[in-house]
A and B are shown apart, each in its own frame.
Chain A
Amino acid sequence: GAVVSQHPSRVICKSGTSVKIECRSLDFQATTMFWYRQFPKKSLMLMATSNEGSKATYEQGVEKDKFLINHASLTLSTLTVTSAHPEDSSFYICSARGGSGANMNTEAFFGQGTRLTVV
């Protein structure tokens, strides 16, 4: 299957600083990327959906000014956690889909995840 690379796999940052997480599709054009947050022993919670070249659509309850998403190219999306606090510590996972409109692929490919710890 297609490969999605997420970096870094682990990051520890100080409270109040910002952290950027990258998600790259290595062998296909990701027209749509999704960012999820996963709490311990819980399922994935969709944070936002981004389409290349347009603003991300955030799920209810997700602060768009805190979780900045950029999808500037068909192979790269970034999630920046701004002014991080300990409660932002979590496992963040991206996924990507290719195609668009009626040709959108139903299958999404997932990155390896990023474990963020804010101290």
Chain B
Amino acid sequence: AQSVTQLDSHVSVSEGTPVLLRCNYSSSYSPSLFWYVQHPNKGLQLLLKYTSAATLVKGINGFEAEFKKSETSFHLTKPSAHMSDAAEYFCVVSDMRGYSTLTFGKGTMLLVSP
């Protein structure tokens, strides 16, 4: 069994300040972990993924995430928020074998103010 908990339903930041979106997971097997971003009425775009290589994963648009097995966390960060980062972010887990479906967190809405 696997599950994902996104700890914040909404996060508000000012443009130019750091972003932290929190995600904790549970998985019976070695997990693959993903962060996806969704803009209004759009599909999902992959930001980054962890699949057992380096624990610090760099993605697109300046985002990165660190896999911490001891804390079962995969938090998403960005040093400096941009207005265009405002969107819904989903943390997703799948087991490493690939047999399981993707399990989505409930999402975190990132709001960026000028």
Which size bracket describes the interface of B in this complex?
20 to 34
Which residue of chain A has its CB nearest to the CB of B96? A106
Count chain A residues whose beta carbon lies closer than 8 angstroms to a beta carbon of B: 26
Q: How many A-B residue pairs have CB under 8 A?
A: 56
On chain A, the residues within 8 Å of B49 by CB distance are 106-107
CB proximity of B75 to chain A, nearest CB, Å: 18
Choose one: B32, B44, B51; the contact of A93 (CB below 8 Å). Answer: B44
> Any chain B CB within 8 A of the CB of A89?
no
Which residues of chain B are near A115, meaning CB under 8 Å? 41
Which of B32, B90, B94, B98 is A99 in contact with, Cβ under 8 Å?
A: B98
Query: In the complex, A97→B102 CA distance in Å?
Result: 11
C-alpha gap A6/B41 in the complex (Å): 13
**A1 in contact with B46 (CB, 8 Å):** yes
Q: B59 → chain A, closest Cβ, in Å?
A: 11
- How distant is the Cα of A99 from the Cα of B98 in the complex, in angstroms? 9
22 A/B residue pairs, CB under 8 Å, sorted by A: A34-B101, A42-B106, A43-B90, A44-B90, A44-B104, A93-B44, A95-B44, A104-B99, A105-B98, A106-B51, A106-B94, A107-B32, A107-B46, A107-B49, A108-B94, A110-B43, A110-B44, A110-B45, A111-B43, A112-B42, A112-B43, A113-B41
